[in-house]
Amino acid sequence: MPIRVHDTLSRSIKPLLPKQPGAEYGMYCCGPTVYGPAHIGNFRTFLVQDVLRRALQLDGLAVKHVRNITDVDDKTIRQSQAEKISLKDFTAKWTKKFHADCDALNMLAPHVEPSAVEHIPHQIAMIEKLVAGGHAYKTGDGSVYFKVCSCHDYGKLAHLDRDSLRTQDTNSAGSVNDADEYERESVSDFALWKARKPADGENFWPSPWGEGRPGWHIECSAMSTHYLGETFDLHGGGIDLCFPHHENEIAQSECATGKKDFAAHWFHSAHLMVDGAKMSKSLGNLYTLDDLVAKGATPPAVRYALIAGHYRSQLNFTLKSVEDAAGAIAKIEKAATKLLEKCGLSPADFAPPVVLEKNTAWGAFLPAWETLCDDLNVPGALGKIFTALHAANDPALTVEQARADLSGLGKILYALGIRLFTAKKDAAGADEIPTEVAALGAKRWAAKQAKDFAGADAMRGELEKLGWKSLDRKDGYALVKL
């Protein structure tokens, strides 16, 4: 059963299938502009794409995931100059940080991660095609603009009316769109190539139109078609990219190639809100992963919190949602541990996707998988996971059923990118029990066995002062850090 998700172009839910059975499934996602640490809003989008990719792979598709790095624009240039380092060193630094955060959030690396700067020749080649085809023109300063009126179905993605576009003279920020200032023929025309300006410093490249740098939109068109072909399967990004970025990508790509189906499917995810408000620097609610970790959050819990809402709905992110997520993960771990015990396995054996027998079984987790396949309904799937987990706790469950359930759980958690038992591994070193604590624990246990409850309780108080507590069972106890 193919995975079905919403397509922005047709405004409908469509199955995700390669053009021919067995063919590679090409998905292109607009990546980050590396001028600082990415914030959790960026990661929500990348995380949703990561879940989609994992699900597609689990469904048997040969996915080729391409996600670019935008490493030249006003912000990267301005910041690198401010720090007095080269653009290359500057963007390398933040690309590295981005990768580290992605790893922490358990995101699969894209198969190809092209840099915009390294693909300037491809961009120039595409611009040349557009100029030759009458879709672009050079202005007096050596810039090149895309001629929007040469593209008859411009606006088809965002469903915008071209006439209103051309007459619009202010943007949402209230600033005036002055066509004359840029020598543009129309305010809706956009830059393909930006002529070199003094403020660019050393950051310019040669082109048939003179020195300069590429416009933002052309980067993605050139890189996506270079790695995935002139028409490919799916293009994704945050909903804000729908217009103008994706609209412009469609226009320039289809005008350059002459083909009308640049991307077969447009996959957009809704924005993240923080504490009920739009994220913004001025509100001080623009969290990075490091910010959250500093507040005590763990990356797995952040991942869970960020994917726990449906991708087409705005998600209101709060610190409490991360705490709730940590509790939910712990609950899954407990139930998984029981299943593992039933099968005679240990948490160390659980590495999604769990390979048991042929690993084809879904067990009680089939409903969760089916829900995920239905427009990537992560919150619905999570609900079905917990329902299945309750059922799996039934003492009457056979080992055979437990193994099937474990296989299904491993697969659905793989799709969601939720790793279990990571905290224990990390804490193994940190939780080393100091000898005095161990001695005190043993003494308390002995007192308790001797029914000296007052003494035992007193020693429990001492343990707590040392930051430890004793979890007693019938046959023994375990010391854990508070």
* Whole-angstrom distance, CA of residue 123 vs CA of residue 25: 23
Nearest approach in angstroms of CB 121 to RNA is 20
CA distance 39 to 287: 5
Residue 328 interacts with RNA (CB under 7 A): yes or no:
yes
Establish if 239 lies at the interface with RNA (CB under 7 A).
yes
C-alpha 311, offset from chain centre: 11
Beta strand pairing call for 62-67 and 24-29: parallel
Q: Which of residues 28-47 bind RNA (CB under 7 A)?
A: 30, 32-33, 41-42, 44-45
Estimate to the nearest angstrom the gap between the alpha carbon of 260 and the chain centroid: 28
Give yes or no for a contact between 218 and 192, defined as CB atoms under 8 angstroms apart: yes
Helix and strand numbers, DSSP H then E, in the chain: 16, 15
Does 327 bind RNA (CB under 7 A)? Our answer is yes
Q: How far is CA 407 from the centre of its chain?
A: 25
User: Can you tell me which of 128, 324, 349, 370 binds RNA, judged by CB under 7 A?
Assistant: 324
Site mask, RNA, residues 157-176, x = CB under 7 A? -xxxx--xxx-x-xxxx---
Work out how close the CB of 362 gets to RNA at its nearest, in angstroms, rounded to a whole number: 17
Q: Shortest gap between Cβ of 390 and RNA (angstroms)?
A: 5
Return the number of the residue (18 or 212) whose C-beta is nearest RNA: 212
Among 204, 205, 386, 421, binds RNA (CB under 7 A): 386
Dihedral Cα 400, 403, 404, 406, nearest 10 deg: 160
Token digits of residue 104: 């922490």
Classify residue 246 by its DSSP letter: I
Which residue in the set 26, 238, 408, 441 belongs to the binding site for RNA (CB under 7 A)? Answer: 238
Interacting positions 63-82 with RNA (CB under 7 A) = 73, 75
Tokens of 83: 């720090």
Q: Are 26 and 232 in contact (CB under 8 A)?
A: yes
Q: How many residues bind RNA (CB under 7 A)?
A: 89
Nearer to RNA by Cβ, of 19 and 469: the residue is 469
Which of the residues 193 through 212 are near RNA (CB under 7 A)? 194
Tokens representing residue 417 in the block = 């990118």
Give, as ranges, the residues between 280 and 309 that touch RNA (CB under 7 A): 308-309
Strands (E), 83-141: 136-138
**Residue 190 in the binding site for RNA (CB under 7 A):** yes
- The reply to whether 10 sits near RNA by the rule CB under 7 A is no
Q: 130 near 192, Cβ under 8 Å?
A: yes
Of the listed pieces 88-96, 293-301, 343-351, 377-385, which binds RNA according to CB under 7 A?
A: 377-385
The minimum distance between CB 8 and RNA, in angstroms, equals: 9
Ranges within 393-452 binding RNA (CB under 7 A): 393, 448
Report in angstroms how near the CB of residue 320 gets to RNA at its nearest: 6
User: Per CB under 7 A, does 278 bind RNA?
Assistant: yes
CB of 274 to RNA, least distance (A): 8
- Among 76, 377, 401, 407, which residue interacts with RNA (rule: CB under 7 A)? 377
Helix (H) or strand (E) holding 456: helix 453-465
The SS3 assignment for 26 reads strand
